[in-house]
Amino acid sequence: MGEIMGVGVSHYPGPMVPDTHMAAFLFRTLQSARVPEAVKDPQSWPVPMQSEWGDDRGKKAAAEHRRRLIGAFRKVRAEIEAFHPDFIIVWGDDQYENFHEDGVPPFCVYIFNQESYRPLMGIERWANTSQNVWGEPPDQVFSVQGHPSGARFLVRRLMEENFDVSYAYTFRSPNGLAHSFSQTLLFLDYDRRGFDACVIPFHVNCYGSSLIRSRGGAAHLSRGGEGEMDPPAPSPRRCFDLGRAVARVLRESPWRVVLMASSSWSHAFLTEKNHGLYPDMASDRRRFEELRAGDYQKWRDLKLSEIEDAGEHEFLNWVCLAGAMAEMDYRVEIIDYVESYIFNSNKCFAVFKK
């Protein structure tokens, strides 16, 4: 019988760069011609956002944000190491990195022995700096160990459970892993002690209707985001049921497995009703209370339209995890819930056990 532990984290890239650049997503939004000038004035922002922005454009708040995020990652790493998994399955999303116009699967499991990836490439495109906090070269190559036997078993068994899951043996992107996976690994080894766990990346097409149209990000805030909406992401119900199936088949396996969801929740640049300036705080707080109460089933019943309205596209990764934890009847231990108006998203860190 297999053993399972659940983990939820964020892959928010802010801790990669100095505090002065952590609010880069907001800086970029404030330069958009699509954002009304009236709402660009900090005096028009919610009071907590004004306080977070302060008189230093968020530098002091960035230091505290980093402290909490990295502190949570250290605790998650300690839990993983104490569990001694054979491999980690990470539900993450691809934002126009490996999946483009030539093919976008709802789900995709990566099968490989070992792969290289470059998580520091392209920082300057979103952070207006090429500097990272480790002082490493932008083209620094990292390596990740896969678990091909576990990945093949997972795909085969999910197909038997009537989930037509795609799979891939290699990456299209020259950077390798999509950033949802690579930055997760980067932060689990923030202290650069090495992190040699075997990993099976499990892609979820979270961006769905805006993936190609907005290049998997904030292109809609520039002049390149026009056009008809793309086909949708898989529904919360499908993601939840897939998570249940993953837990069910792994429970029958010989392995110890960590099931991990990696994503922030509501993203400012996806929350169009807030002009891309700050996340949907109210919606994320509802999700957090449901999580804290262990009411995972409510996430299955969410509508894709309400998730997209709240800018919670990436939350589908957590819905997969919730399905698995419902199947296992696991309780949740909240490590931290970190809200932010100016650092693009709200983040949750949690561990799930018997």
- Cα 35 to Cα 24: distance, rounded to the nearest angstrom: 16
Q: How confident is the model at residue 243 (pLDDT cuts 50, 70, 90)?
A: very high
Query: For residues 252 and 89, what is the distance between their CA atoms, to the nearest angstrom?
Result: 16
pLDDT of residue 233: 96
CB atoms within 10 A of CB 220: 20
In sequence order, the β-bridge partners of residue 150 are none
Evaluate if residue 335 carries a pLDDT over 60. Answer: yes
Contact, 205 vs 233, CB < 8 A?
Answer: yes
pLDDT at 219: 56
- The proportion of the chain whose per-residue pLDDT surpasses 70, expressed as a percent, equals 97
Kindly give the pairing relationship between strand 87-92 and strand 199-204.
parallel
Cβ atoms of residues 278 and 342 within 8 Å: yes
Is pLDDT at 273 greater than 70 in this prediction? yes
Residue range 313-331: average pLDDT? 98
Residue-level pLDDT at 296: 97
Residue 218 clears pLDDT 70, i.e. is over it: no
Percent of the chain predicted with pLDDT > 90: 92
| pLDDT tens string 141-158 | 999 999 999 999 999 999
Nearest partner of 4 among 77, 85, 60, 59, judged by Cα: 85
**Arithmetic mean of pLDDT, 254-273:** 97
Domains of the chain, with CATH numbers? 3-353 (3.40.830.10)
The pLDDT-based confidence of 213 (bands split at 50, 70, 90) is: confident
What per-residue confidence (pLDDT) applies to 222?
54
- What number is the average pLDDT over the span 5-31? 96
pLDDT: is 125 or 220 the higher one? 125
Amino acid 69: pLDDT = 98
Region 16-24: mean pLDDT is: 96
The residues near 241 (Cβ < 8 Å, ≥ 6 apart) are 300, 323
232: phi then psi, degrees, rounded to nearest 5: -75, 165
What value does the mean pLDDT of the chain take? 95
Q: Cα dist. 23→62, 64, 131, 187, 291 in Å? A: 8, 13, 15, 18, 27
Of the pLDDT bands very low, low, confident and very high (cuts 50, 70, 90), residue 1 is confident
For the sheet containing 166-168, what is the strand order? 166-168, 107-110, 199-204, 87-92, 256-262, 3-9, 347-353, 331-338
Residue 113 carries which side chain, given as an amino acid letter?
Answer: N
pLDDT tens digits for range 69-116: 999 999 999 999 999 999 999 999 999 999 999 999 999 999 999 999
Compute the distance between CA of residue 233 and CA of residue 238 in angstroms, rounded to an integer: 10
pLDDT at residue 215 greater than cutoff 80: no
Q: What mean pLDDT comes out for the span 27-42? A: 94
For range 293-313, the mean pLDDT: 97
Instruction: Answer yes or no: is pLDDT of 180 > 70.
Output: yes
